[in-house]
Every structure is written in structure tokens, then in C-alpha cells.
Amino acid sequence: MRVLLVEDEARLADQLADTLRGAGYAVDATRDGEEGWFLGDTEPYDAVVLDLGLPSLDGISILRKWRSAGRAMPVIILTARGAWSDKVTGLDAGADDYLAKPFQPEELLARLRALIRRSSGVATPEIACDGVVLDTKTAKVTVDGRPVMLTSHEFKVLSYLMHHKGRVVPRTELTEHVYAQDFDRDSNTIEVFIGRLRRKLGVDIIKTVRGLGYIVEEPG
């Protein structure tokens, strides 16, 4: 899962980026409004954390531009405490949720998980398939109750496929949602991660659809 963070307060931005990466997200972070708009307009994100007061282009304008261009990714806005009108304006401009500063990082993570689940049509914090359970809250995976240790990239691949289970995910799409923008991407490594995941899970829940991509099939 890949998240865009647009926040200009240096300390908060660094802290949030660390928190998001620690929670297993690929993170693109910028402190500039124009750049934030451009990234959200051109890169596929699973969710966006958007501050409202930003240099060069404010958060509400960014949001309106994205929505009028048909960019539908979930967006959570960060507002100043007590600024109720910002919340109203933000939600009306197309935000899916808001958080008033200051907030606990855990609350942001919980809201992000909920937004990402909802936008992928997953209702529960645990996603299960054939004995494999991915807990989105703890970023842990078990097979028949036995914990499986995954690297952060392996987890990102499995998490994306399980959030989109029942659908064939092309390798290019997987690549775009597993790596941050500044990462040296190589779509061949996805195949390596898939191979390792199959070995570690010990059950073959990830099917290769030749020429198309990968799928975690809904059981039954």
C-alpha cells in the first residue's frame, strides 16, 4: 500500500513519514503544495494525508483539482484545532475524513486503515484466505495460526493482493503500489517476492495468471 503525505511542518512531516513507513506503507512525502498536487495527479496512491495550509498551493485547492480530474483515492485532511469550517469545506471538497492537529499518530494510522479497507471493499481489519490471515492493524501474517515472518516488501506485496483478492493484479500495478517514488523500481523483483511469499506461506494462495498478473482467489 502506497501513501502520499503532503505536510509542510518539517518536524511533523518527518514524524508522520516515519510512522507511516513503520506501519508498512510505501510513502512519498512532500512539503510543497504544487508538488503534492502533481504527485497525486500522476501517481497511483492507496491513500493521501493532506495538510491544508501549504506553500504554493493550499490543500483545499489541491483536493478540488484532484476530484474534478476524477482522482478518487481516499484523502484524509489535517486541519487546525477548532477550525470547524475547514472540516466542512474539506469534506465538501472531496475529503473522506479529517484529523484535527494535534493528534496521536495511532489515530491517523487507524483512520488510514479504515479508509483503505473501505476503498478496497474490505470490511474487517483481518483479511483471510485459505488459512492465511493478514492483520492490517498489526501488519502481521499467520498461516493456520502460526506467525510468518515477512520482509517489509513481501508484506506490501501480500497486503496489496489480499486487499484486492478476487481480482487479477497486473505486475506493473503491484510495482506501483509497493514502492515509493524515489525507489529504484524493478518489476522483476516482484516475481522474486511472490516466490518467497509462496515458500514462506507454504500454501499456494497466490496464483499466477500468465501474461496478466497475480491473483489471490476468494475461497469457495
Q: Which residues bind Ca ion (CB under 5 A)?
A: 8, 51, 53
Residue 8 is placed in which grid cell? 509542510
Q: Rounded distance, CA 54 to CA 58, Å?
A: 5
C-alpha cell at position 148: 510468518
Residue whose CB is less far from Ca ion, 50 or 122:
50
Task: Kindly provide the b/e burial profile for residues 78-88, where b requires at least 16 CB atoms within 10 angstroms of the residue's own CB.
Answer: bbeeebeebbe
CB of 7 to Ca ion, least distance (A): 7
Helix, strand, coil percentages in the chain from 3-state DSSP, rounded to 5 = 40, 20, 35
Q: Tell me how far, at minimum, the Cβ of 111 lies from Ca ion, in Å.
A: 19
Contact between 126 and 134 (Cβ < 8 Å): yes
- Identify which of residues 50 and 161 has a Cβ nearer to Ca ion in the complex: 50
What one-character-per-residue DSSP string does 130-191 give?
Answer: TTEEEETTTTEEEETTEEE---HHHHHHHHHHHHTTTS-B-HHHHHHHHS-TTS---HHHHH
Whose CB is nearest to Ca ion? 53
- When the beta carbons of 8 and 35 are compared against Ca ion, the nearer one is 8
The residue (of 97 and 176) whose beta carbon lies closer to Ca ion is 97
Distance CA 173, CA 180 (A): 13
The residue among 30 and 136 lying less far from Ca ion, judged by its C-beta, is 30
| Shortest CB 61 distance to Ca ion, Å | 14
Gyration radius from the chain CA atoms: 18
Task: Give the residue with the Cβ less far from Ca ion, 46 or 51.
Answer: 51
**Least distance to Ca ion, CB of residue 49, Å:** 12
Residues 68, 14, 120, CA angle at the centre, nearest 5°?
45
Nearer to Ca ion, 53 or 170 (CB): 53
**Nearest approach, Cβ of residue 83 and Ca ion (Å):** 12
Query: Phi-psi region for residue 202, left (φ > 0), alpha (ψ -120 to 50) or beta?
Result: left
| Distance in Å, CB of 37 to Ca ion, minimum | 15
Find the shortest distance in angstroms from Cβ 55 to Ca ion. 8
